Chains A and B, each alone.
Chain A
Amino acid sequence: MNAALEPALADRIHARFRLGWGGFALDVDLQLPGRGVTALFGHSGSGKTTCLRCFAGLERAAEGYLAVNGELWQDSAAGVFVPTHQRPLGYVFQEASLFPHLNVRRNLEYGLKRVDASSRRVSWEHVMELLGIGHLLERMPGHLSGGERQRVGIARALLTSPRLLLMDEPLAALDLKRKNEILPYLERLHDELDIPVLYVSHAPDEVARLADHLVLLDQGRVVAQGPLQQTLARLDLPTALGEDAGVVIEAYVADHDQAYHLTRLAFTGGSVLVARRPEAVGQRLRFRVHARDVSLALSRCEDTSITNVIAATVCELAAADTPAHLLVRLEADGTPLLARITRRSSDHLGLAPGLRLWAQIKAVALLGES
C-alpha cells in the first residue's frame, strides 16, 4: 500500500515502528489523537525514548510508517523518509542540551531563524511570557540553573512553531523543587497552545497531571493505549503502575466552604471535599485517587471521619500486585474508580459485578499543586 492518506486521518497521528538491535526490539503501532498531550509511559528500557526518536527521525526504524495530521513523514514501504531537519517538529531532550557557545537569545533564535516567516505561528512574546525567560536572554547556558535551562530548551523548541512537540522526560534530570517550578509552565503549554505533544515519562504523577491520552509501553511493545482516565482504570494491564494504581478525575471547583476551609470539587458521578483551594469557582482541576486510598462499604456509614463517600457500582474484579489483594473497578455514573482491597474483605462483602455500594475515599491527590 502506499502513501495516500485517508481524510479521516487528517487530525490523527498514526505511527508504526519496528526495529531491533542487540537484545532490544521495538514493535509498536500507535493511533494517537492529533491534539492534546499523549504520554508514552513505561519503565526504563521499555523503548519509550527509542520510540520518540523514531518520531523525530533520529532513529530510522527498519520498518516504519508515520503520518502526522495528514502529512507523511515516513513510509519505509514506499521509500519515504523525511530527514529530521525537514520535519516540522520540536524536540525537548532530557538534558536541555543548549548550545554552549551561544547565549540564551541566540539559542532561541537558532531554530526560529531557520523557519520560514510564513510558517511561524508561535510568537516570541508569547513564548517569553509562557516560560518566564525574558530576563535570561543575554546569559550563557553555563550560568543558568537546571530548571532555567530546561525552560529555555522548551522555548527553543516551541519557537520553531512545531506541528508536533516531542518531550523526552524533560523533568527527569531535575530535583523535585525544579520539577514543581516547571510543571505549571507545561500545564499552561497544554492549555494555551494547540500543538500535539508526545511526552515520555516514567513518573506516574507527571503523566496524571499532564496527559490526556496514555500509551503504556513494556519491552518495546504497546501494552495499552487510550484516553487517560479509561486506560488508567483498566484492570487487565500488568500492574505497570504497581502500588500506584489509581485513577485521574477531571473536576471543577463547585464551591468553597468558608467556615471549614474546604473546597468542593464536582465531577460526573459525585463530588469530593478537599482543603481550601485558591482556584475560583468553575476552574477545572485534576485529581488522582489511588486504589489503595479507596475502601468499600455496603451501606453509607454516617459515623465515620471519612468525608468523601461516593455511590458506585462494581464493574470488575482482578488480581492486584499481591496475592492478598484485589483490584476492583467501580463506576460512579460514568467516572471510573479503582479500589485495592483484601481478598478477605471482598469475600466478606460478597463483591460481584453489578453490586451497588459506597466508595470511601481516604485521600485525594490534587494535581497541579505547586
Chain B
Amino acid sequence: MPLTDQDFAALRLTLELASLTTVLLLLIGTPIAWWLAHTRSPLKGPVGALVALPLVLPPTVLGFYLLVTMGPHGPVGQLTQTLGLGTLPFTFAGLVVGSVFYSMPFVVQPLQNAFEAIGERPLEVAATLRASPWDTFFSVVLPLARPGFVTASILGFAHTVGEFGVVLMIGGNIPERTRTVSVQIFDHVESMKYAEAHWLAGGMVVFSFLVLLALYSSRRGKPGLG
C-alpha cells in the first residue's frame, strides 16, 4: 500500500475542509457577489479590492494576520474566548475560517460575472410577471447563473484543496486535525520520503487536471435573453 493511514487522514481532512469551505463560500459569496454586481455605491471599488486581496497577497501574510486576529490577544480571539469557544488557531474551525477568506475571490468573482452578465432586464421582466425578488432569484437568477455557480464551486473547492501557507500559519501541523495533503507532502519531503511524497503529489496533479478539465469542458456558449 503506497499510502499510509496518515496520508488517508490528510486526504479526508482536506476533502472535508474543501467541501465545508465551498458550501460556506457559496452562502457568503452569493450575497457579496450580488451586491457587487448591482450596487452603485462608492464602496463597490474598495469591497471588490478587499475580496480580491487574497489573489495577490502571499498566503503567509493572510495567515499571519488571521493568526494574530484570532489568537488569544486578537479581537476575534477575545470574542471567541468570551463566548466560551476557546481560540480558533490550530483547530479545524480556524482552518475553515482561513480558507473562506483565502478562497473568497475564486467564488465571488465568477458569481459576480454571472450576475452582471444576466443584467437587470430579466429581473424586471420577472417583476412585471408578478415574481417577488426572492422568487425571481430562485426562478430566474439561479438557473441563468448556473454556469457561474458551477465555476465558482469548482474553483473554490480546488483552490482550498491547494492551499498551504494559510494552513501552515493558522493550522499548524496537527495530524487528523489540521494536517492537510499539502502539509503532509511537505512533511514527507522534509523527512526525505520522496516515494510517499510522489504518490500524494502525483495524485494532486491528476486531481487538479481533472477538475480543470471538467471546468473547461463544461463551458459552453451561454444563452442570452431571447
Q: How far is the CA of A91 from the CA of B225 in the complex (A)?
A: 16
Min distance, Cβ A157 to any Cβ of chain B, angstroms: 7
B220 within 8 A of A: no
Complex contacts, B130 vs chain A, CB 8 Å: 85-86, 111, 114-115, 160
Complex contacts, B143 vs chain A, CB 8 Å: 101
Chain A residues engaging chain B, CB cutoff 8 angstroms: 56-58, 83-86, 89-91, 93, 95-101, 110-111, 114-115, 140-142, 144, 149, 156-157, 160
Complex contacts, A98 vs chain B, CB 8 Å: 225-226
B129 and A142 within 8 A (CB): no
B139 and A97 within 8 A (CB): no
B39 within 8 A of A: no
Min distance, Cβ A232 to any Cβ of chain B, angstroms: 30
Chain B residues engaging chain A, CB cutoff 8 angstroms: 121-122, 124-133, 135-136, 139-140, 143-144, 223-226
With CB as the reference atom, state the residue of chain B lying closest to A97: B125
- On whether A89 and B128 interact (CB within 8 A), knowing A97-B121, A97-B122, the answer reads yes
A110 and B226 within 8 A (CB): no
- On whether A149 and B226 interact (CB within 8 A), knowing A97-B121, A101-B143, the answer reads yes
Further 5 A-B residue pairs, CB within 8 A, beyond A58-B127, A97-B225, A142-B226: A85-B127, A85-B128, A90-B128, A93-B124, A110-B126
What are 18 pairs between A and B in contact, CB < 8 Å? A57-B127, A58-B128, A93-B125, A96-B226, A97-B121, A97-B226, A99-B122, A99-B225, A110-B131, A110-B139, A114-B130, A114-B135, A140-B226, A142-B223, A149-B226, A156-B129, A157-B129, A160-B129
Complex contacts, B125 vs chain A, CB 8 Å: 91, 93, 97, 99
Residue with the highest number of chain A CB atoms closer than 10 Å, among B124, B130, B131, B223: B130
Q: How far is the CA of A97 from the CA of B118 in the complex (A)?
A: 12
The binding surface of chain B is classed by DSSP as helix
A100 and B144 within 8 A (CB): yes
Complex contacts, B144 vs chain A, CB 8 Å: 99-101
Complex contacts, B122 vs chain A, CB 8 Å: 97, 99
Q: How far is the CA of A10 from the CA of B139 in the complex (A)?
A: 35
- On whether A141 and B131 interact (CB within 8 A), knowing A93-B125, A97-B125, A101-B143, the answer reads no
Complex contacts, A110 vs chain B, CB 8 Å: 126, 129, 131, 139
Residue with the highest number of chain B CB atoms closer than 10 Å, among A90, A91, A140: A91
Min distance, Cβ A271 to any Cβ of chain B, angstroms: 44
Min distance, Cβ A187 to any Cβ of chain B, angstroms: 23
With CB as the reference atom, state the residue of chain A lying closest to B133: A85
Complex contacts, A160 vs chain B, CB 8 Å: 129-130
Q: How far is the CA of A110 from the CA of B226 in the complex (A)?
A: 15
Complex contacts, A93 vs chain B, CB 8 Å: 121, 124-125
With CB as the reference atom, state the residue of chain A lying closest to B224: A100
Residue with the highest number of chain B CB atoms closer than 10 Å, among A90, A95, A99, A115: A99
Residue with the highest number of chain B CB atoms closer than 10 Å, among A98, A101, A115, A149: A101
Residue with the highest number of chain B CB atoms closer than 10 Å, among A58, A85, A96, A111: A85
B226 and A144 within 8 A (CB): yes
Min distance, Cβ A59 to any Cβ of chain B, angstroms: 10
With CB as the reference atom, state the residue of chain A lying closest to B140: A99
The 8 tightest CB contacts between A and B, nearest first, are A141-B226, A111-B129, A91-B128, A114-B130, A84-B127, A100-B223, A98-B226, A101-B143
With CB as the reference atom, state the residue of chain A lying closest to B120: A58
Complex contacts, A95 vs chain B, CB 8 Å: 225
Contact of A100 among B126, B131, B132, B225 (CB under 8 A): B225
Q: How far is the CA of A97 from the CA of B223 in the complex (A)?
A: 12
Complex contacts, B226 vs chain A, CB 8 Å: 96-100, 140-142, 144, 149
With CB as the reference atom, state the residue of chain A lying closest to B139: A110
Q: How far is the CA of A100 from the CA of B144 in the complex (A)?
A: 8
